[in-house]
Amino acid sequence: MHEKVVGASLPAVMALAYLGDARHGLYVREMLVARGICKSGELNEAALKYVTAEAQAEMMRKIEPLLLEDEAEVYRRAANSGHLNRPRHASAADYRAATGFEAVIGMLHWIGDGERLKMLLDKAHE
């Protein structure tokens, strides 16, 4: 359990998912640039392999066994949120898992646990 989360108030899980989406997108962009991809069209095309609901759901399956208690709680709350507007191309299950993934990433970003954030993102992208 993260000490910063105990007794602290976090934003709503959908706000955490919003932050997590942006933070994950930055991770993906940095990863692709580090691989030497330089053209914007190629970067955008390559990024799509990582930022879809399907891809994020698969990443969540990789890291779910590693989640700490508070991370798992944020994941469950986000995945079970009743306010999900899933895109047509994603299954409801994948979209819920992806939203939970983004919320966990957003929580770690919000509380400033960069070490844990990087470890989980690295694992998710293996």
Q: Above 80 in pLDDT, residue 2?
A: no
Residue 21: other Cβ atoms inside 10 A: 19
Residues 66-94: b if buried by 16+ CB within 10 A, e if exposed = ebbebbebbbebbbebeeeeeeeebeeeb
Structural domain harbouring 85: 13-23+53-124
Residue 61 lies inside a defined structural domain of this protein: yes
Residue 110 lies inside a defined structural domain of this protein: yes
Residue 89 lies inside a defined structural domain of this protein: yes
Residue 33 lies inside a defined structural domain of this protein: no
Task: Give every CB contact of residue 120 below 8 A, 6+ residues apart in sequence.
Answer: 63, 66, 104, 105, 108
DSSP-derived secondary structure for 34-98: HTT---HHHHHHHHHHHHSHHHHHHHHHHHGGG--HHHHHHHHHHHT-S-----TTS-HHHHHHH
Q: Above 60 in pLDDT, residue 22?
A: yes
User: What token pair was written down for 96?
Assistant: 């819920």
Task: Give every CB contact of residue 80 below 8 A, 6+ residues apart in sequence.
Answer: 96
Task: Give every CB contact of residue 112 below 8 A, 6+ residues apart in sequence.
Answer: 4
Task: Name the domain count of the chain.
Answer: 1
User: What's the mean pLDDT in 12-33?
Assistant: 96
Whichever domain contains 111, its CATH number is 1.10.1520.10
Q: Above 50 in pLDDT, residue 69?
A: yes
pLDDT given at position 82: 73
**Residues annotated as part of the active site:** 21
Residue 41 lies inside a defined structural domain of this protein: no
pLDDT given at position 5: 60
- pTM exceeds 0.75 for this model: yes
Q: What is the mean pLDDT of the chain?
A: 90
Residue 118 lies inside a defined structural domain of this protein: yes
Residue 88 lies inside a defined structural domain of this protein: yes
- Select from 94, 87, 107 the least CA-distant residue to 14: 107
pLDDT given at position 6: 47
User: What's the mean pLDDT in 54-76?
Assistant: 96
User: What's the mean pLDDT in 103-107?
Assistant: 97
Q: Tell me which of 124 and 82 has the higher pLDDT.
A: 124
Residue type, 38: C
Residue 6 lies inside a defined structural domain of this protein: no
